[in-house]
């Protein structure tokens, strides 16, 4: 038996998900999807030097977006 199957059997599937970061991939994929919807799926320029500049601009834009912080969900009573 593997260690992961032991965890899921003894502590439950939610403990397994938490231990191995099961939902992290879906969060990353959702963020990449949002970025592609805003910026576009491919680079707009043709030349390599221009693509490098465009990549730097996109990276700076993403860093600025991330500087705003994560959203906070509040449950209304």
Rounded Cα distance, 59 and 77, in Å: 39
Task: Give the model's pLDDT for residue 6.
Answer: 61
Identify the three-state secondary structure at position 74: coil
What is the phi/psi pair of residue 58, to 5°?
-65, -40
Reply yes or no on whether the pLDDT at 68 is more than 60: yes
* Number of domain units in the chain: 1
Asked, for residue 72, whether it belongs to a domain, the answer is: no
Query: Would residue 40 count as lying in a domain?
Result: yes
Please indicate, yes or no, if residue 41 is contained in any of the structural domains: yes
pLDDT attached to residue 77: 67
User: Residue 41's domain spans which residues?
Assistant: 3-67
Residue 75 lies in a domain: no
What tens digit of pLDDT does each residue of 24-59 get? 888 888 888 888 887 888 888 889 999 899 888 888
Q: At what angle do helices 3-11 and 13-20 cross, to 10 degrees?
A: 130
In a domain, 73, yes or no: no
Residue 65's pLDDT is 81
Q: Does some domain include residue 76?
A: no
Pure H helices in 3-47: 3-11, 13-20, 24-39
Question: Does any domain span residue 57?
Answer: yes
């Amino acid at each position: 038996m593997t260690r992961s199957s032991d965890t899921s059997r003894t502590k439950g599937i939610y403990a397994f998900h938490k231990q191995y970061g099961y939902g992290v991939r879906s969060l990353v994929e959702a963020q990449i999807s949002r970025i592609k919807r805003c910026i576009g799926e491919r680079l707009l320029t043709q030349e390599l030097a221009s693509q490098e500049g465009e990549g730097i601009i996109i990276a700076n834009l993403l860093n600025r977006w991330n500087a705003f912080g994560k959203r906070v969900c509040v449950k209304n009573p």
